[in-house]
Structure 1
Amino acid sequence: MLNIADALHHWCREERPFALATVVDVIGSAPLPVGTSVAVDEDGNVIGSISGGCVEGEVYELCRRILAERGTPLRARFGYSDDDAFAVGLTCGGELDVFVQRVDPVSQSHLTTTLSAAVRGRPTAVAQVVDGPDRLRGATLSLLEDGWTADDVLGRHATGLAMADRASARLRTGRTGLASLGGETDTCPEQLSVLIHVAATRPRMLIFGAVDFATALSQAGHFLGYRVTVCDARPAFTTAGRFPHAAEVVVDWPHRYLARTPVDARTAVCVLTHDAKFDIPLLSLALTLPIGYVGAMGSRRTHHERLRLLREAAVNEAELSRLRSPIGLDLGARTSEETAISITAEIIAHTNRATGLPLSLRSGPIHEPTAHALSDG
């Protein structure tokens, strides 16, 4: 859906109903990824593509039928045809599972707001029920940074909360994909398959200190979906070859680099240098910025000395309370790889406002809702 956000926003502003066909699953080789959409309005105008041309005609006819009959949403699978090279199918040999539904911008007005945000480059997500009870199939929920709104059928009840929570998790990673909701360990009361469309840049992990721990941490951060930057003022240690999983390796003073690079509430800053001449200017700045996580490596003795120096640098107590130091969860980590897991585990727990405790010591739902609903106004 969000791959054609600009044109869809125009249609929504005109309150023009349309049929939306979206790739919800890919098996084998296929031209375009999950979440790619094509839309058809009541005049037969088409925007987007889902297969590079090989199944477009059949999908177009399905969209026209849904619009004409105001029918219930449907799923169709398209695969390679061995018998007839001109039959509907994918010549690349893969299979596409396509979900087709009618969208009414009047009754689903939240989509207009969300598409507007996507066009303006704001992080946003749309959750779309593609499998589940008939009354919910095709229902949509929109998520922005400040909350969520949804179709009336989802309301503010457990199903909407569970969808918003899962959409929030996807938005943090910046990845479009399917999510299964419902079951004994889920707060969603109904079994659903939900496609979550995401328009967001990957969150950033800024690692300061080109030390051995940084190699493992950059790999772990990359695995979690972060766009990783390693920065250090020492050129001999700060080389791309030492950090193959980093998107960017920068030779600069840490505080100077941080002052000129974009950050937001999804950014994680990991300070591994435990050297006051680097740490104090860097942390004095980082703790004043809208950064989601700020952690610093070092012993408890180093930590207490660091706090003393930060207070001397006029960092106030509210800002100091944001500092995670010594960095990481208590996993008994010894190696660089174990330390990377300790750090990333704390980042995950902090991001999700979780306790970090063993699940065996807790009661209640394993996954607690974290997304907040927007007011109806």
Structure 2
Amino acid sequence: MPRSFLALQGTASPFFSRLADALRERGHSVRRVNFCGGDLVYSGAGEVWNYRGKPADLPTWYAKVAQTGDFTDVIMFGDCREVHRHMHPVSQAYGLSVHVFEEGYVRPNWLTLERCGVNGRSRLPRDPAWYLDQHKVMPPIPVSNSTGYNLFDRAFHDIRYRAANTLYAARFPHYRSHRPRGGFFEYSGLAVRALRDRRHHRDAEQATRELLDAGHAYYIFPLQLNSDAQIVVHSPFDGVRDAIDRVLNSFARHAPSGSWLVIKNHPLDTGLIDYRRHATKLARELGVLDRMRFIDAGHLPTLLEHARGTVVVNSTVGLSALHHRSPLIALGTAIYSMPGLTWQGSLDNFWQHGEQPDMHLYQAFLDCVVHHTQINGDFYTRTGIAMATAGAVRRLEAAAHA
């Protein structure tokens, strides 16, 4: 049966407009909502609404839209943005199906599409037995095809989106981005980081070589982006610095005396917050500066392969750690945080007692996640968008019959 989709804010790319076109070709109706200039330039053909009101008025506006009975489904990118979070209770009240896109749980070459929510809002069970039972009857998981994903395409669309936000700011006077800093500051920070990239890789390679050659037992703590909803919404921390404080204090007091801690910065961190300085100052105060290494680059698979354990908040690096059989603890809400995969005790006890994951459970979990939530494609390249559109249409139509 034909469905009627209300498309809220999408990616900073043509993906949502391509998806809308494909759904219309299949006989469905789609109406997009633009909240800012970036949405406007990527809205494509078809019917649109330009929402110019205040965020506080969105619950009432969404309710009026839902009351018309014109829509059966809602699609959005990310479920924690200010323009999206008000839709969840409205959709429940009026029986609308919500479909949330997000970057892939499994990377590269995959993106996420789930009913109701993603990450901390995901409806994926946290029961190991469910994954083991599902795995017995599940069809084989197809091998992913390369999408040609690259940072150049992503940066191009992001810059265009941000420029349109500035150009059309007067048309959307109450819009505030979910990102805390403007594009100029973020890209300035990334430019400075790019200039230091060669030195960062050289320093990280030297630190890794020293650790491995000396045979030091070490733990790795990969950082996340401070503005990521995974930190802001789905973790107990006020920010990444707060997470560093928690991990370093616990390491200093409870980790084996001869062990080291490697803190690896996020590859897209803009440098606007100096995590290296913060971690170095605290490590000195705690008396563990000689056992802490902060790196801005490095070959993550090598680091994970030889680590005594991995500490994450809820990063997708957790799945890579499981792949490399590294003992793992998740300090926030993560889809993979369950008995058999992650340490279920305290961080203080993890340093001494963390255990390797059950690899049979890991494979069952990974296959189920791909089967139920992942689509081969990406949001930014021409090839990746075409792949993602075809896969999303199949998944959305199948959801209507579920």
| Structure in which a larger fraction of residues adopt helix | 2
Q: Quick one: higher RCO (CA 8 Å, sep 6+), 1 or 2?
A: 2
| Structure in which a larger fraction of residues adopt strand | 1
Q: Select the structure of larger CA radius of gyration.
A: 1
Normalised to the residue count of structure 2, the TM-score between the two structures is: 0.29
Normalised to the residue count of structure 1, the TM-score between the two structures is: 0.31
